[in-house]
């Protein structure tokens, strides 16, 4: 079972019985949903929007891509706030729990679930209004040790996310970079691919730990 005092190990802590334990953890559910609410606030907050953007719209018409949706905690909050949602996850064991929830409730009619890699999404260009990712984006580097390969993958992913976003598209990523160097590498990949934005840390004095990247597609 994932403990409060350590980060989960990918993919071991998300497979088979661990996926069931994850989904049944009230602490995990509370934590993930709280982070999702923060992401929604950041998406439509003053930092990413100004009068010229006219981008503070909310409602059923907006399509949100939930990257690394897991068992559906984040998607649930998005649905409750009136969004249409595409939930993406690479682990079938986690996605199965989300599919069970969708099958059990009509409230999930606005949710589409797709088994796919964040680095290779089956999404068409200019389709997505906004993107969020809760506690999963750093896992896209799993299994890669070479720094050059890491940055190429991050760069390619940021480039594709820009492609699938609509003109005023925004992204909020909540993740846990292991150090300042890794954080700068993630941030640079977006800056190099026509994004601008801000960084918010839960503890400004920490170089690692919970971090939010607030990004918007340049006009």
Q: What is the CATH number of the domain that holds 21?
A: 3.40.50.150
| pTM listed for this prediction | 0.91
HSE on the CB side for 57, CA within 13 Å?
A: 13
Helices (H), the chain: 17-24, 26-43, 73-80, 92-104, 147-164, 180-191
Torsion of CA 183, 189, 190, 191, to 10 degrees: 100
Contacts of 58 (CB under 8 A, 6+ apart): 44, 81, 82, 83
Structure tokens at 19: 């996926």
**Does a structural domain hold residue 5?**
no
- The number of domains in the chain is 1
**Does a structural domain hold residue 182?**
yes
Q: Which domain holds residue 74?
A: 12-217
Beta bridge partners of 177: none
**Does a structural domain hold residue 44?**
yes
**Does a structural domain hold residue 88?**
yes
Task: Going residue by residue through the chain, which has 219 residues, state the pLDDT in tens, using 9 for 90 and above.
Answer: 444 555 678 888 889 999 999 999 999 999 999 999 999 999 999 888 864 555 445 555 899 999 999 999 999 999 999 999 999 999 999 999 999 999 998 888 999 999 999 888 899 999 999 999 999 998 999 889 999 999 999 999 999 999 999 998 999 999 988 888 888 999 999 999 999 999 998 777 766 688 999 999 987
**Does a structural domain hold residue 2?**
no
CA distances to 20, 84, 95, 124, 126 from 62, in Å: 31, 6, 23, 16, 13
3-class secondary-structure state, position 160: helix
What is the structure's pLDDT at 120?
83
**Does a structural domain hold residue 56?**
yes
Residues 75 and 94: their CA atoms lie apart, in Å, by 13
Contacts of 98 (CB under 8 A, 6+ apart): 69, 70, 71, 72, 75, 87, 89, 111, 113
**Does a structural domain hold residue 4?**
no
**Does a structural domain hold residue 6?**
no
What is the structure's pLDDT at 57?
55
Query: If you search the block for the tokens 């390619």, which residue do you land on?
Result: 156
């Amino acid at each position: 079972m994932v403990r409060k005092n350590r980060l989960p190990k990918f993919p071991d802590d998300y497979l088979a019985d661990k996926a069931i334990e994850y989904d049944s953890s009230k602490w995990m559910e509370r934590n993930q949903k709280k982070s999702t609410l923060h992401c929604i606030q950041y998406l439509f907050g003053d930092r990413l929007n100004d009068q010229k953007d006219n981008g503070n719209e909310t409602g059923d018409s907006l399509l949100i891509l939930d990257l690394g949706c897991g068992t559906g905690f984040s998607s649930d909050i998005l649905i409750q706030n009136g969004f249409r949602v595409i939930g993406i996850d690479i682990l079938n064991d986690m996605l199965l729990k989300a599919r069970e929830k969708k099958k059990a409730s009509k409230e999930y009619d606005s949710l589409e679930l797709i088994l796919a890699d964040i680095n290779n999404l089956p999404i068409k260009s200019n389709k997505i209004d906004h993107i969020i990712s809760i506690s999963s984006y750093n896992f896209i580097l799993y299994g890669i040790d070479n720094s050059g390969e890491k940055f190429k993958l991050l760069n390619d992913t940021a480039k594709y996310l820009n492609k699938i976003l609509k003109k005023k598209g925004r992204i909020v990523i909540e993740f846990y970079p292991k150090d300042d160097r890794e954080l700068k590498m993630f941030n640079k990949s977006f800056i190099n691919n026509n994004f601008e934005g801000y960084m918010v840390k839960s503890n400004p004095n920490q170089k690692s730990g919970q971090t939010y990247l607030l990004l918007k597609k340049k006009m």
